Chain A
């Protein structure tokens, strides 16, 4: 998985609780992305980062925030989890905006 780890790999939480997912890379790639994958929807971009402390919104950013204080770490936070945020979350990295995105192994999140 191209030097990308995601933690936790599985999480069950309750509605209304905050949740933070972590993406860690050892490739020193500039770009990092968070996607969610749901049946019938494919992969949808939540947020992405193009450098330390540089982030921007994707297609489905409502209810999510991100932070990147170091090149290697990109955090996704659900401030108050809802059942609609039950999904598989993938992190991806890329050396530059014009190069291939490499995906991590995913985090399966269940919000009860």
Chain B
């Protein structure tokens, strides 16, 4: 119930295309859903996040779509660029006793070809 399942494991997209990464969760108590972007040799960095009271959030070329009834959320990268090539992690948080713990998906390695 604590797991977040992420797919696909890897994704190859042409420059200008749309990249879509999907995540699913079981625990309905999760109340915060961030996406992290990680470049090789670096720590993950927050890209965009959503809370379950919103069905969609957009920041530039990055959009999170959230489907509460299906317990799924996805990241869409519009007009994908070679600089977007990185590993993307979805996550969900569960507040227990005031301490938020993030549960991560296993990651998606995105390659954007020029």
Q: Do A and B come from one complex?
A: yes
Q: With A1-B43, A42-B107, A43-B89 as given contacts, are A101 and B102 in contact (CB-CB < 8 Å)?
A: yes
In the assembled complex, the Cα of A31 lies from the Cα of B34 at a distance in Å of 17
Number of A-B contacts (CB under 8 A): 56
Return the CB mask of B5-43 against A: 1 if under 8 Å, else 0. Answer: 010000000000000000000000000101010000111
B interface SS class:
strand
Most buried by A among B6, B34, B106: B106
CB distance from B6 to the nearest CB of A (A): 8
Question: Within 8 Å of chain A (Cβ to Cβ): is B46?
Answer: yes
Q: Report how many residues on chain B are interfacial, defined by Cβ distance under 8 Å.
A: 23
Contact residues on A (Cβ < 8 Å of other chain), bracket = 20 to 34
A interface SS class:
strand
Contact, CB under 8 Å: B101 / A48: yes
Most buried by B among A42, A48, A102: A42
Contact, CB under 8 Å: A97 / B89: no
On chain A, the residues within 8 Å of B42 by CB distance are 105-106
Question: Within 8 Å of chain B (Cβ to Cβ): is A84?
Answer: no
Return the CB mask of A29-58 against B: 1 if under 8 Å, else 0. Answer: 001010000001111110010100000101
